[in-house]
Amino acid sequence: MKGAGDAYLAEFQHTWEDEERLEGVSAVEPVELQFTPRHAGILRLTASIEDTQGRTHKTVLQRWVTGRGPVLWESIPGNLLDVYPEKSDYRVGETARFLVQNPFPGGKALITVERFGVIQRWVKTFETHSEIVEIPVRPDHLPGFYLSVMVTAPQVEKPLGPGGEDLGKPTYRMGYVRVPVDDPHKEIAVDIRPEQEVYKPRDTVRVNLDARARNLAPGEAPPPVELAVAVLDESVFDLLHERFFVVLEDPVPGGLEPVNRDLATASREDAQAGEPGYAAGSYRNRFPDWLEEAASRWSFYHRELRHDAVRFYSERLPAGRYHLSYTAQAVSPGEFQVLPVHAEEMYAPEVFGKGAPAVLKVEER
């Protein structure tokens, strides 16, 4: 239907048509029923059974069927293309398969495989509404890659719309999907053991790290392992009264570098290393009433990661205890001064609070 300006919007109405009806009798062992779909598109499978009390029990599954024939895929408004992987992750040596819900049969598609740049690219004509893209998973795809598909439709001869709109103008759709890749022969088992369960401010923390290849072949020599140590900085913020437009700044000491775990370029290893674990005597485990970052609008809703400091922002903070954390990676050995955490009201800087300074020691072991 016609929207504002020259925009034409798709409006979908759903009906389900019977494709096949099968009957069976339940038994102690599972009963198998088979059929072959006759049309491509979305297939809804409904299994229902009646128990001895006359009550009906029902299970519904949805599946996609690929093949020739017209399919009107319902997609997100805009120039987005729906691309679905067959599995959630793959291993080296497997073939990754993707369903592309193509709105332009006969259109040309630019397909790219990307990881820190374009690894592969090729052009393919999509003949049907449901196209399958296959990609052999190679070692250089570790620990994952991105698949980009852009399909285009050329200018077609079509009468102008009521307002002189060009209804046959060229158009395109683009889809993007992230594909994790695992390889058991590339996995490293890491064991981390602190010498103490609880540390106090200014204590020297010593941690024993043991890293080794998890799946070595018989007789294979262990390869050298390089470690990157990530430190989780835990901030404790206790408010006695409600405050407005609060900013909390935690200076990053030398030797550490904040890791943005929300970026697609941050490795999964960094993200896993940043999962917090708290000692029994830490502030985090002393009180049950913590308010976490982004727990609601009236919390710390925004965070900035910079090389010199990490800042948390809030518009309104009710009284309470707030727990903030971020992941930082050790990038250089040495002894570094840790400046105190500082919090203040942006429009009333005379209302502020400070933490305690400390010393951070990073050693190569």
**281 located within any domain:** yes
Do 247 and 304 fall into the same domain?
A: yes
Do 33 and 179 fall into the same domain?
A: yes
Question: Which backbone phi and psi does 163 adopt, to 5 degrees?
Answer: -100, 20
Q: What is the pLDDT of residue 267?
A: 46
Q: What is the pLDDT of residue 96?
A: 95
In sequence order, which residues have a C-beta less than 8 Å from that of residue 253 and are 6 or more positions away? Answer: 336, 337, 338, 339, 360
- Supply 70's token pair: 């017209």
**203 located within any domain:** no
**195 located within any domain:** no
Do 175 and 229 fall into the same domain?
A: no
Distance CA 196, CA 230 (A): 18
Do 259 and 112 fall into the same domain?
A: no
Query: Residue 271, Cβ neighbours under 10 Å: how many?
Result: 14
Q: What is the pLDDT of residue 25?
A: 85
Distance CA 328, CA 252 (A): 9
Question: Which backbone phi and psi does 186 adopt, to 5 degrees?
Answer: -105, 0
Do 290 and 240 fall into the same domain?
A: yes
Do 262 and 175 fall into the same domain?
A: no
Whichever domain contains 22, its CATH number is 2.60.40.1930
Contact 115, 146 (CB under 8 A): yes
Look at residues 183, 203, 236 and tell me which one is the last residue of a structural domain.
Answer: 183
In sequence order, which residues have a C-beta less than 8 Å from that of residue 46 and are 6 or more positions away? Answer: 58, 59, 60
**211 located within any domain:** no
**193 located within any domain:** no
Do 19 and 156 fall into the same domain?
A: yes
Contact 82, 75 (CB under 8 A): yes
**190 located within any domain:** no
**202 located within any domain:** no
3-state SS, residue 248:
strand
Do 179 and 242 fall into the same domain?
A: no
Q: What is the pLDDT of residue 298?
A: 61
296 residue type, one letter: S
Look at residues 124, 153, 183 and tell me which one is the last residue of a structural domain.
Answer: 183
**295 located within any domain:** yes
Whichever domain contains 292, its CATH number is 2.60.40
Tell which residue, 229, 192, 195, 196, has the closest CA to residue 211: 192
Look at residues 124, 154, 183 and tell me which one is the last residue of a structural domain.
Answer: 183
Q: What is the pLDDT of residue 268?
A: 47
> H or E stretch including 269?
helix 268-273
Q: pLDDT tens string for the chain (365 positions)?
A: 555 555 666 677 788 888 888 888 888 888 888 888 888 888 889 989 888 888 999 899 888 888 787 888 877 667 888 899 998 889 988 999 999 999 888 899 999 999 888 999 999 999 988 899 999 999 888 888 999 999 998 877 777 666 666 667 788 899 999 999 988 777 888 888 888 888 877 788 888 888 888 877 788 888 888 877 766 666 555 566 788 889 999 999 988 888 887 665 544 455 455 455 555 555 555 655 555 555 555 678 888 988 889 999 988 888 877 888 888 888 888 889 889 899 998 888 888 888 888 888 888 76
Do 178 and 301 fall into the same domain?
A: no
Q: What is the pLDDT of residue 293?
A: 55
Do 245 and 322 fall into the same domain?
A: yes
Do 271 and 167 fall into the same domain?
A: no
Q: Domain of residue 49: give its range.
A: 1-183
Do 141 and 266 fall into the same domain?
A: no
172 residue type, one letter: Y
Q: What is the pLDDT of residue 112?
A: 95
Give the total number of structural domains in the chain.
Answer: 2
Cis peptide before 143 (omega within 30 of 0): yes
**Beta bridge partner(s), residue 66:** none
